[in-house]
Each structure stands twice: as structure tokens, then as C-alpha cells.
Structure 1
């Protein structure tokens, strides 16, 4: 049995801790051989000191330095692709193809290269110059960033390779990666590639560091430490709010992705037009990856009539016929089952599912629930609790007015979707529903399910609380995601030669977009 090392201050070394943990193969419930350390506070303190030293060493560095690292790292991941995918499959039971090899790994590499382009370009920093007052400002590095990755995206959201990591580096910050216990081996392989890229591009020793697990108390100390600039966290609402409280007390920015049920409103005309197609799209989206997506459609709202009841029956048949996916861990399975029980206690009724199906792996039956609009309005908050997995709740409004009322009761979500008739028969109802839903979701969709999150500059993978900790930021989409890890730095009457290159009169690249005297331009400051 191998006991793996942590990456601290430029070296792989044995942990100071005496506690270890092991990953489990969800497809077999078997504990994997390799052990990984739980880092005690003295070790975390060393990580913080090294990250601070790296931050000091990198002051004034150009974006090109960080771009070279990100590009080299992307190349290194591609060189290890087969090994990374094989390990991720072992630790998560996600299929090698198409999920890991053809979708998530290319997305991971693409994010790193997009971040490199943003670092090189520099426009993300929003250099702003007011010549009349001689006041100039720019977003600069915020300092060491701690990244807590989730269980459900072992590659694209990994703490040492995913979107938060890429954004933090593009902004010029060192990163402290806190791995997820569900896939430590995958994270370690990324760490090896990151360390090699850091050495090849002459980054300081504490630039990229990796620890696998801490106590809850030490995690709270980490995010609130004076050397931490900001934290990125993706995971459960309960754990996220614990570290948010610690960060808030210390005045430290923390960007959280917590929970979301991603409501889907299906209007009457859409059902009359294409009910079976919608049933297919919904079942495919809800059951994809055993429902373990933060954008999984967890609640559907319809006006109660024969067509909507027929849709429920069709979806239930598709749920029964579909394979039951493997859940990520014993904890996910337990919380999923408990979430269904909680929805039942709040008034929801089982349509299909809600039973164990295969004791040899972590899984639970594809589950569909229903509740009336009156019951939902009366008990809206508990009926919105997330059951993270292959389940969804249908809510039947008694009329169009109640459908709008139900949407008004929603908490903040990452996404919200409206299906409407393409011939326009739903337009008047759409015009009532969309403005209400718009205020409650980060991304509003029409006529498509929400599970696809494109890595686009226009993407918002964020939303009002409790989907995230702040409605003004996104975890996906460069350059916007990079700005989370910058601090606004203002220079008032500072002598020209003391200004950062991006704020000097001459455009440092000749192509960087800067906001000069009220207009975006690539020109130099005149006169």
C-alpha cells in the first residue's frame, strides 16, 4: 500500500500528519489501496507561508509569465491524459468515454488555454484611465487563492486543474489546492503535471501547492488566514456556509457554488406541440451522470391538465426503462435517499423509484415525485431542498396564475428554463413568467435543458443565493471568472514611471483594450 505525499513549497514530501484516508471505487464499493494524508495545522501553516512568499516574488510580473505556465500545464495534462482518465474512472465510476476522455478532459485543457490567453491579453484587468484627474485603476492579483474542488467534476472543476484554479492563476495568484476526498489520485496526477509545468516555467516554489484533506476547523482557519487573498469553493451548502462564515469574519472574499434545483417551466402550448420530445430531453438531462450535475433539472412546473399528466406518465416510463447510474460515494447515496425522504415529509409523493437497486455499487433508483401547486405554495422552502442525484419533482399548478406564484417562491438558482410553443401561443404567459424567473437564476434558458455549461465568455455559471454566495460572479466564462481573484488597485497622481505597464500612457501590447476617458480603446493616451 502506497502512502502518497503532499506538494508543499516546490517539493513532494511526506506529510507531518499521522492520519490518512483512502478513496473508494463507487462501482464496486471497494476501498482503493493508496493512502492520502490528512494535513495537520502546522503543515497548512507552512503552505500559507510558502504561498505568501510566492505572491511577494511575483509582484509586478506580466501576464505572459502566467500564460506560459498555463500553456505548459495544458500540454502536460494532455501528455498524461490516459493515466488521468483511468484514475478518474476508478475513483468516480464516470465512463471513460464519452464523459471523461471526450468531454471533461478536453474542457479542462481548453479552460487552461483560455485562461492563458486572458493572462497574455490583459484586458480582463479592466485598466481604466481618467486623464483629467490623473487617476488610473486596474485589477491586480489579490494574493494566494485557496481552491476547494467538488466531487462531481474530477477534472474540469478539480482544485488544481479546474476553472477556479485557471482563473486564479490568470489573475497572477499562487494557488493552494485542497483536493476532494472522492478523487485524491486524480488530483495527485494533476499535481504532478502542475509541478512539472511550474518548474519548467520558473515559477516560485510556493506557486502551486496541494494538500488532500484537513479537519473542518483547519479548513476554516485556512480560508480566514491573513495570507489568503480569496477562496473558491464548489460543494455542499452546509460545508460551504461553514467556511463562508469563517472567511466573512476575517473579511476574506469567498466565491461559493452551493446548491441549485434549476427549475424548468413547461408552458401549455409547448406540451401540445411537442410533449414527447420534451419528455425525452428532460429524462436524458435529469438522469445524465446519475443526476450528479449542479445544473440538473430538479423541479418541473406545469399547469395541471391532461397533457401535463400524460407528460408525467411518459417521463416515469422513461425513468423506469433507463439504466440506473452509479453515484459518486456512500455519502452521496445516503444524502440522496435522505433528500427524497425530506421531500416526502414536505408533501411530495413518489411517482416511481425510491428504492435500492444494486447493493454491489453506490446507486439508487431513478426517482420521480409530484406535488400539487397548493401544497408547494404552502410549503415552498422544504420542497426546494436539493436531492442531489437522479431525481426530480413535478409541481402541478392549478392555473396560470398559480404557476407564476410558484415561480415567485423559488430561491436563487444557477439556471431556469422555460419551454414555450414555437408558434407563439404561450407568449403572453411567457411574458409573465420570464421576468420573475429572471431575477431568481443566473442563466435563463429557452427550450433547452440546463445541464450543458459551455465554456464561453458570455456564460454565467452563478446566480443568487443559495446557488452561489454572490449573484455578481461566475465560475465559468473567461474573462469574467478571472476578475473574482483580482483586487481593484487605484493610482492617484502617481508618477508615470511608477505605474504598472497597463496604466502607462503607451499601450503595453498595442492591442490591450483599456477604458480611457470614457471609451474602450486600444490606442495610447494622447498628449
Structure 2
């Protein structure tokens, strides 16, 4: 593979380069992104905006489906380099590729339907007294070029052709992606697939560009470019908050749709613990350890009532975690941060099960604490990205609503309950509605269904915009804004309003 950027339909090589850091195999050189390349890509996106904004819904749907076809045609190549770069198993990459293509096709179906346009029409009332009413028509229109940051933990579904890119193209917005340095080869192949689909669709090349990572100045150049109208991001709280602040400080502030972090609390109600404490412990350990815990919906904190059922749950979880082999983490940096975070949490809580691993490997950690320590040490509520879980023992189940009220914003919250727990659950749900984007009962949050009713977002710091989602068809609304047309001649209206 020859490393290259994809800018407005052209492969761009040369300049300084960086070497990838794969889990297996030899490093490959890829060209470093620069602010000048970002400027070139964004200006091409602005030049292409009028063309893609004017396309029919059918034409954009066909583009999305063509992108899915091109990705599938490169499936074996994507899996080979993706597994080498990230250490993710082949089955996981194949499944993620299916999800990536599935959400592209889902958005194609969604825009064909047209309901997302939220079209409204108030007909003129020329004889209304005391004043006549004009003819008013409203529709959602694309906002302009969108900047997207590729994510580390999903090299396909949240990266170059992920949900941000799919929904932005569906809305009629050109996209400029900054690739993630953890999987640059994977990013490049997917970018090639998108560029091929754009060319085959007869659209300007500026509809899509991908610039490789080049350090903080490249990300800054993307969010601060005056022609970028919104940004999509999935990553750390620290990095996302810095970009959010840059977007807000621009002469023209723009929306920053960042999904930043979550500990995804699970509340184990008494009836559930009485009937299936050991099963909850085993299943929680499996969810927590899946993919080396590198999911934004990883259930990192469990609240249980002190007693023999809590002991049984912890024992079952500990046994299940101990039986697993070390897993490779996505990057050296993620592994280092996990090891440091786990050891820091263990020192704070005082009771833990886990072990340090060499290099890029990780094994699960289970940390135990009580309500007093939880409330006294705010750092226990920080996300540690990886297979780390905290069990918080509460004196009484009646403490759960108060604990829930003290949580920061989260992506998810889970209730493990039986029918006899309904009264307690009834007090918890209104609290959790204000804290999370998705509430689950008797399940585990890892695994986010790509569907119309899905919400993958939540109050800060889970995301920077609680009214949005990065998964599901509602994600398209991030890249649209309502425009009202008053007394507009039919010939001047957007086609979907005629």
C-alpha cells in the first residue's frame, strides 16, 4: 500500500510521513496531514456543496448504496489490514463492516421515505381579519461542509464511512474526514471506496475528502476552518472538550457533536439479585470484557445492595474475569492509559481484583467500594477506557434514586429487575431520564442497534449536544436546519417542497 490522502477525488502523496503502529506485522508509512491539506479539502467541499445539496433524495440514496457496495468489494483487504492495525479479531471486523454497510443502506431507505424533511405548509389566508396570512412552507435543508473525526475504537462503523459520514452525506452535506492514526491503512482503503462511489455517481470530488492525521494542528485547522459548518467526533472527554471549545470560540460558532465518555451505570434491584445474582455477575463480566472493554457503552459501574447476593454476584464476576486471556488493545496509548487508570482506581477504592499486563495487552479489573467512598471520591466516576468495572455496595436499595441523581450525564443506564422491583424502578426511571440517552431493562448496553428509535448520546459529558444521537436515523438531523419560504413562487422552491 502506498500511503495517500484522498482530496476531492485525487490521491495526494508526498511530504512528511508517519509510521503506523500495528498490533501485528510491519509498520507502514502514511503521509502526515497538514493545515494546508485541510484547507484544500474544505474549499473543495464548499465548491461541491451546491451540487450535492441540489441532488434528489434518490440520487443521494444511490450514492450511499454505492459506497456500501464499494466497501464490500474491498472487504477482504479491509479485514486484513484492520486486524493487523488494531488487533481486533477477524470476526469482529467482518461484523463491523456489515454494520457500516447496513447503516449506509439504512440512511438510503430513510431519505427515500422523506419524512425526515419535516415538511410543513400553512396555506395563505388572504381574507383573514384583522391581517391576512402569507403562504408559508418549511423544510429541513443541509447546512454545508461537515468535519468528521475518525474514532479509535470502531475503525469502520465510527470512522471514515461511519455514522457521521453516512448521515451527513444523506443530508446533502459534503464531508471532510480527519483519519485516526491508530488505523491509517484501514482508513485509506475505506476512503478509496467512498471516492470511487462519488466518482461513479457523477458528483464533484469535493463531496468527500480524507486527510490523514497530522497532530493537534490538523484537528484544529478542521474545526476552525470558516467554511466548516458542523463537526462530528467520537473520542475522549479531554480531546473532545478541547475541540468543542474551539468550535464555540470561532467568530462564527458552530455545533460540535461530540460523543465523549460514559460509565454506563447498572442498578441491580433486590428482586433481580435475589433470583439471579450469579448470572448477573457472569453476564456483566462478559459485557465488561467484550472487545477488551473498548466500547463507549461498556457498563463500568454497578450499584448493588450490601448482602449475600452482592457477595455472590461479585464472586461470579471475579471468576468469569479471571478465566479470560489477555486481550490486545487498539493502540499502545490506549493500553497505557488503561493500565494507569486501573491502578489509580484500585489505589483510590482500596479493594480490587486485577493484574497489570505487558505492552498492549489487558485483562479485566474489578474494583469494589462503598457508598461513602463513592460519594467522597469523584474520580471513581471517571471513565477508564477498557475492561474495568466498579461495584458500589449500598446500605439499602432506597439509596439508588439518590445515587442516580448524583451521576453525570451518561449514554446508557441499565436496570436489572424483576416484577417485584417495579415500585423501586418507578422512582428510578424519572431520574435516569434526565441523566442518559438510553435506559435498558434486563440487558447489557454493549451493542448499539442501528435503528430509527436508537439514541446514542446523552447529557454532558456523555455528549456535547443532548438533543442529538450519533447512531440511528435521527442522526441526520444534526446536519440539517429548518428554512421557511414565504410566498415563494413554485419554481423557486426546493424540489421536495413543490
Query: In structure 1, what is the equivalent of residue 146 of structure 2?
Result: 145
2:480 to 471, 477, 486: 486
Using the alignment, how far apart are the partners of 2:466 and 2:310 within structure 1?
33
Q: Which has the higher helix share?
A: 2
- Indicate whether 1:104 and 2:102 are aligned: no
Pairing 1:221-260 to 2, within 5 Å after superposition: 221-250=221-250, 251-260=253-262
- Indicate whether 1:440 and 2:435 are aligned: yes
2:386 to 370, 373, 389: 389
1:350 deviates by 3.6
**Any unmatched runs of 5+ in structure 2?**
125-133
Count of residue pairs the alignment pairs up:
487
1:274 to 272, 276, 293: 276
Pairing 1:325-474 to 2, within 5 Å after superposition: 325-345=327-347, 347-356=348-357, 359=358, 362-379=360-377, 381-421=378-418, 424-474=419-469
Using the alignment, how far apart are the partners of 1:196 and 1:60 within structure 2?
21
TM-score, normalised to structure 1, is 0.90
Checking the alignment, whether the CA contact within 8 Å between 2:52 and 2:207 is kept in structure 1 is no
Question: Deviation per CA, 1:456-491, whole angstroms, max 9, x where unpaired?
Answer: 10000111110100111111111x111111122121
Q: Which runs of 4+ in 1 moved over 6 A?
A: none
Query: In structure 1, what is the equivalent of residue 127 of structure 2?
Result: none
- Indicate whether 1:8 and 2:15 are aligned: no
TM-score, normalised to structure 2, is 0.95
Using the alignment, how far apart are the partners of 1:395 and 1:374 within structure 2?
9
Pairing 1:153-168 to 2, within 5 Å after superposition: 153-158=154-159, 160-168=160-168
Secondary structure of the corresponding residue to residue 327 of structure 2: coil
Checking the alignment, whether the CA contact within 8 Å between 2:279 and 2:313 is kept in structure 1 is no
Using the alignment, how far apart are the partners of 1:33 and 1:93 within structure 2?
13
Using the alignment, how far apart are the partners of 1:69 and 1:473 within structure 2?
24
- More deviation, 406-415/123-132: 123-132
Secondary structure of the corresponding residue to residue 96 of structure 2: helix
Using the alignment, how far apart are the partners of 2:283 and 2:421 within structure 1?
20
Pairing 1:278-293 to 2, within 5 Å after superposition: 278-293=280-295
1:118 to 92, 97, 110: 110
- Indicate whether 1:475 and 2:470 are aligned: yes
- Indicate whether 1:38 and 2:39 are aligned: no
1:219 deviates by 1.5
Query: In structure 2, what is the equivalent of residue 63 of structure 1?
Result: 57
Question: Deviation per CA, 1:301-346, whole angstroms, max 9, x where unpaired?
Answer: 011111112211111111111222211111111111222233245x
Using the alignment, how far apart are the partners of 1:254 and 1:477 within structure 2?
18
Task: Give the root-mean-square deviation of aligned CA atoms.
Answer: 1.5
Checking the alignment, whether the CA contact within 8 Å between 2:35 and 2:217 is kept in structure 1 is no
Query: In structure 2, what is the equivalent of residue 313 of structure 1?
Result: 315
Pairing 1:47-86 to 2, within 5 Å after superposition: 47-86=41-80
Using the alignment, how far apart are the partners of 2:121 and 2:365 within structure 1?
56
Using the alignment, how far apart are the partners of 1:409 and 1:143 within structure 2?
39
Using the alignment, how far apart are the partners of 2:223 and 2:170 within structure 1?
20
**Any unmatched runs of 5+ in structure 1?**
505-527
Query: In structure 2, what is the equivalent of residue 524 of structure 1?
Result: none
Query: In structure 1, what is the equivalent of residue 183 of structure 2?
Result: 183
- More deviation, 255-264/336-345: 336-345
Question: Deviation per CA, 1:334-371, whole angstroms, max 9, x where unpaired?
Answer: 111222233245x3134211322xx3x51123100011
Question: Deviation per CA, 1:284-307, whole angstroms, max 9, x where unpaired?
Answer: 100000000000000000111111
